[in-house]
Structure 1
Amino acid sequence: MILALLGGLAGCSRQAQAVDSDDVVFDSQTFRVVNVDLERETLSLHWKDPESSQPYGDIETLRQWGIAHDRRLLFAANAGIYDRQFAPLGLYVEHGKTLVPLNLVRGNPAAGNFSIQPNGVFVIYPDGTAAVRTSTDYKADAKPAQWATQSGPMLLINGQINDRFVDDSASLKWRSGVCAKTPHRVVFAVSEAPVNFHTFARLFRDELGCRDALYLDGTISQFYVDGDGYAGAPTFMVKPYAGIFAVFTSDKP
């Protein structure tokens, strides 16, 4: 009986560590950082309800969908930048199916941050490994994706901060981003207050130990962590999302 109880506790510990959430203070700013272990949990992307074909639009709607299907939402975050029709602006892949193709158009003012070069792709391959690649490198790789979202700009490229960023820039926004620290360890971060791109990139390089990191979005960005609630931009700033990262458990809520 004692061994069974200890085994159950160990299982709970492993579950908790598979999606690990912490507040990190860096350069006098607070960030919510979430680590996802892809060897223990499935990280997926969600845009539209497969039954109704209607966009989820927000994390709470996706969470309720999970409850209706006996799946508890452990973690969620908005994915890449989208257009005025609330469709992903660049590559978007779900379950191995490309719903929006790779977007290599440059210099489009309407694309905002997406057009700052280089932009990039966060991808999970069919073998369960993850990577962040510049959009041109992703195209050159020509590897099939199981899940993928394109956004921009790249925060880090091969350990170097994007040279478009200015150290003392006064452009301050809530910001979210992602890196694949290892092929099976994905790290997400969202600022709890407005920061500039340079500070946000240094967080990924100097604090989180990433070499390639991708900006996801700005003022509307929020994370949801089961048991901790929401972090990131204030709720009144949030608008409908086109894609949402999620980690579900099959356990009933």
Structure 2
Amino acid sequence: MIRAALFALLAWSAPALAATCENVQYSGKGYAICTVDLTSEDLRLFLYDEDDAVLGQFGAVDRALAESDEELSFAMNAGMYHSDRAPVGHYIENNTEIMRVIPNAGPGNFGLLPNGIFCIRQGRADVIETLKYVDEAPGCTYATQSGPMLVIDGALHPRFLVDSTSRFTRNGVGTSADGKTAFFAISRGQVTFHEFGSLFRDHLDTPNALFLDGNISRLYAPDLSRNDIGFSLGPIVGTVISTN
């Protein structure tokens, strides 16, 4: 038992590995998918710098990390935000709650209930439906709320229509049943919610998945020679590696 506990401690403290990203085709649509192993990779959320200024760009996150001899290996926008880049819903960064849980319906995609929360803890990450999250109070190190849920306990969101005409570039995250793997996907063209949710349910086999945003969706993935730029973002999710 002592040897097993020591091995687990060493595994958690070992240098973090980089996320792996690839371009895939599924059901006639193109996607970039980045896979994160939570047992060996350091996944975090980023919003403000030490002076409480919005980071907003992948490059700004990288510059902040450089002060600790670290850098991003993958990143994506991570949830809806107001005009001042403050998160619309629940947000926790490094054990500090910046925004409370919003449990009720509201305007836009965020309020298309059920929505959910992406929760990062030591060695695992989970997409959790919002009301279930409130009941369980899982104690996340990092968390971001967005919506709608794409997949809920293996089923697509009940409001998604096969024949929908609403198409946008969309990005989201799904997690494996054991919480050890997170899949981040961004469409390489315009897709419907039904098409995007089906990617997570049927191709990635994630029992739960969450829509992060659409139209403004951006990705940093050196594997794919991508460093999408544009106006300032709100929350950003990414994996961190040491430069030493």
On whether the aligned pair clears a TM of 0.5, the verdict is: yes
How do residues 85-234 of structure 1 correspond to structure 2 at under 5 angstroms?
A: 85-106=84-105, 108-109=106-107, 112-125=108-121, 127-181=122-176, 182-230=178-226
Paired amino acid for 1:170: T
Partner of 2:46: 46
Partner of 1:12: none
Partner of 1:239: 231
The alpha carbon displacement at 1:61 in A equals: 1.5
| Residues 17 and 41 in structure 2, CA contact (< 8 A), matched pair in contact too | no
Q: Deviations over 1:193-224 (max 9, x none)?
A: 01000000000011111110000000111111
How do residues 29-68 of structure 1 correspond to structure 2 at under 5 angstroms?
A: 29-50=29-50, 52-68=51-67
Paired amino acid for 1:229: S
The count of aligned residue pairs is 230
Structure 1's 32 and 227: CA in aligned 2 closer, same or farther, altered over 3 A? closer
| Residues 200 and 209 in structure 2, CA contact (< 8 A), matched pair in contact too | yes
- Work out the CA distance in 2 between the residues paired with 1:76 and 1:121: 18
CA RMSD between the two structures: 1.9
Q: Which runs of 5+ in 2 are unaligned?
A: 1-14
Identity %: 34
Paired amino acid for 1:55: V
Partner of 1:84: 83
- Work out the CA distance in 2 between the residues paired with 1:96 and 1:90: 16
| Residues 33 and 189 in structure 1, CA contact (< 8 A), matched pair in contact too | yes
Partner of 2:68: 69
- Work out the CA distance in 2 between the residues paired with 1:202 and 1:211: 11
| Residues 18 and 35 in structure 1, CA contact (< 8 A), matched pair in contact too | no
Q: Which runs of 5+ in 1 are unaligned?
A: 1-14
- Work out the CA distance in 2 between the residues paired with 1:113 and 1:83: 14
Q: Deviations over 1:51-106 (max 9, x none)?
A: x2111011122122223432121011111111233200001001111110001131
Paired amino acid for 2:49: D
Paired amino acid for 2:35: N
Structure 2 length-normalised TM: 0.89
